[in-house]
Amino acid sequence: MSNTFLTYSSITKKIVMACAGLFLAVFLLVHLSINLTLLRDDGGKWYNDASNFMSTNYIIKIFEFVLFGGLIVHILIGIILTLKNWASRPVGYYKTNQSKTSFFSKYMIWTGLIILTFLAIHFMNFYFVKLGIVPVPEGINDRHDFYHMAGRLFSQPLYSYLYIFLMLLLGFHLYHAFQSAFQTLGLNHNKYNSTIKLVALGYALIVSIGFAIIPIYYLFFL
């Protein structure tokens, strides 16, 4: 009975993690669409208006709590399942079964933790400034002036190159995660697995390249 419960519990965790991941995947597209307005030559009007709408609208605020909840659930379950998998492997498992683990799934926990570190820095640079937890950067007069905050960061080569690298890691993470979510939810099938892989690749490329274009624009075209 206990083994059945543990198995069911692991499956449930994977399903919850997959659903939270797909929710975050939708949010990334929304976030990307807002960030791309940084490329408009309008002095940041569109970007600041969109950012302020997202931070003041009460409906968006509710979704913000849901988003944070989904993010925390996704991270915690990912760590728990990884630790559980490591603990359940025999000593020689990794060496003898290394080829059975896909290249992408092997590094999911590490790419996820690196992205999590970046998110913490990202929150400090924007979200915590908006809340007044972190002081407004020098030269910025308004804590809601996200346009100039972003410009200040992306004008720093080290930050921009790191950002581009992390967006490539994000694409790497998303490519496998997208496919894994469909498999966990039982939506994969031999007839359309190739389509799922293609959609996953397209989504990962759109998100990672879309975000990476922004620091490239600030570095080389401004």
pLDDT tens per residue, range 122-151: 888 888 888 889 999 988 988 889 999 999
Phi, psi dihedral angles at 174 (to 5 degrees): -65, -35
**Residue 7, CA atoms < 13 Å, CB-side half-sphere:** 4
Domains within the chain, CATH numbers bracketed = 2-220 (1.20.1300)
> How many whole angstroms separate alpha carbon 177 and alpha carbon 48?
31
pLDDT tens per residue, range 41-57: 999 999 999 988 887 88
pLDDT tens per residue, range 146-182: 999 999 999 999 999 999 999 999 999 999 888 888 8
